[in-house]
Structure 1
C-alpha cells in the first residue's frame, strides 16, 4: 500500500517503499532501504576512512489508490542522495549508522511520509471525511547482506498515527550494464495506523459509509527493480510491483481494491 512503503520509497515506491530501498547502494542497483557500514563493529568506534558519496536524481511514480473511485496518482520523485561513514540520506529517508557485524548492519531511521493520507475532496467516498495527513516516522532499521541476497527491515513509530514494520528480501542479478533485482516483502500495520487512514469516525458516518474501527493487518508485496548504468555516473532505475492489502484495510467502507499496482522510473546521477 502506498500510504506506507509505496509512498515512502518512494519510495520505494519504498518502494520503495521500496519499495522501495541506501541512497548510493540503491543507485547502484541495490535495495535503497538497506542500512550499512563498510567497517565491522560500532560506527562510533570505527577508525575507517570517512568517504563521502552524493548524487541527485528525478523521476515519476504512478500508483493505484485503495480508496474507492480514487483512480491512480502520478507524482514527481525528486531525489537527493548523501552517504558517508555516519549518515545516509536518500530522498525522504535518513539513517544514522550504528554499526555493521559480518554483513548485519543496524541504523536508526527517520522518514518523512509527505504524501500519505488524503483530503475529503479527493474522491466521492471521502467527502465529509476529515483530512488525513502524513507523518514523520522513526525507529530501528537493519539489513543482512549475503551472497544469497539481502534481507532488510525496519520498525517505525509515527506518533498518533501508530506503528508499522516491514521486512523485504531481494536478490540482484548482473547482466552487462543491467542489474535486475526481484523483491518480495511483508508489512505489518498497527490498528491505530489502519484506523487513522482507513477508519470512519462516528462524526464521519454517511449513507453507504458506516462507522469503521481499523484493526492491525499485514500487506504483502512482490516486484522487481531494473537498473541500467549507461555511464560511470548515470543510471536509469525502474521499479514495478503489486501489493496485496490485508483484511484490516479491505474491510473498510472507504476501500474498493485489494491489489494495488505501482511503478516508478528515476534518472540518477552520482557525482562521487
Structure 2
C-alpha cells in the first residue's frame, strides 16, 4: 500500500475544516446528494444524508490551505451540468458521481467535467459492479470508490461491512487496480473506538487486503474530539493503515474471515 493513502473529510464546519486541513486530510468538502437517497437508506443507522448546499463550497475553498476541495454531487440527471459548473466555479477540484448503473452515466459526467477537476465514480449498485471493468477503462479516471451502504442494499445484504468480505469486493478491487486506478471504499473510524458495531481495526485490515488507498473519515471519527485532537487521530489512523499494509497475505485473509464472522452478530445487536 503506498504512503499516499487519500483521506476525505465531508464537512462544511469551518472549525473542523481548518483542523482537518492542518491534520493532513487530503480532500475536504461537501455532500449534496439527495436524489433517491432517503428512500434507499432512510432506515440505516449509519447512513449519511446531505445537509450541505453547493454554496457551502465557497467557504470551504476560502478556508483550505492544503487539502483539495471536494464535492459529492447527485446521481446523473438533467441538472448535472448545472451542478458541475456551479461546483467548479466555487472551487471544486474533486467531483464525485454517486449511484450510477453503468459506464454511460460516468462517461457523460466525465464529458461535462472535461478535465477541469478529478472525477471519482462512487460504485454503489449491483449493475455497476457487473460492469466495473468497462467503467475502469473509461479515459479520464484516476480512481474509483465503492459506497458500502447502497451496494449492500443493492445486493440484498444485511450490513454494509458484509460486502467488504465478499469475493465480489475482491474482484472489483482487482479490476480497478488492474486498470491502473486507485481503489477505495467506505469510511474509517478512529482505530481505538471500540463503541462501534464492528471494531475499526478489523475494517482497517481490509484496506491492506484489497489494496485500497482511499477512504472517507466516518462521521464517528470526529465524535467526542476537540479540533486540536483531530491531527493526532488522523496520524494514528495512517500509522495503523501502514502497519496493516506490512502484514502477509495469510494474516490479512484471517482478518477477512474475522470480519465475515463479526458483521452479522454485531448488526443484529443494533
Quick check: TM above 0.5?
A: no
- The structure richer in helix per residue is 2
- Structure ranking higher in strand proportion: 1
Q: TM-score, normalised by structure 2?
A: 0.31
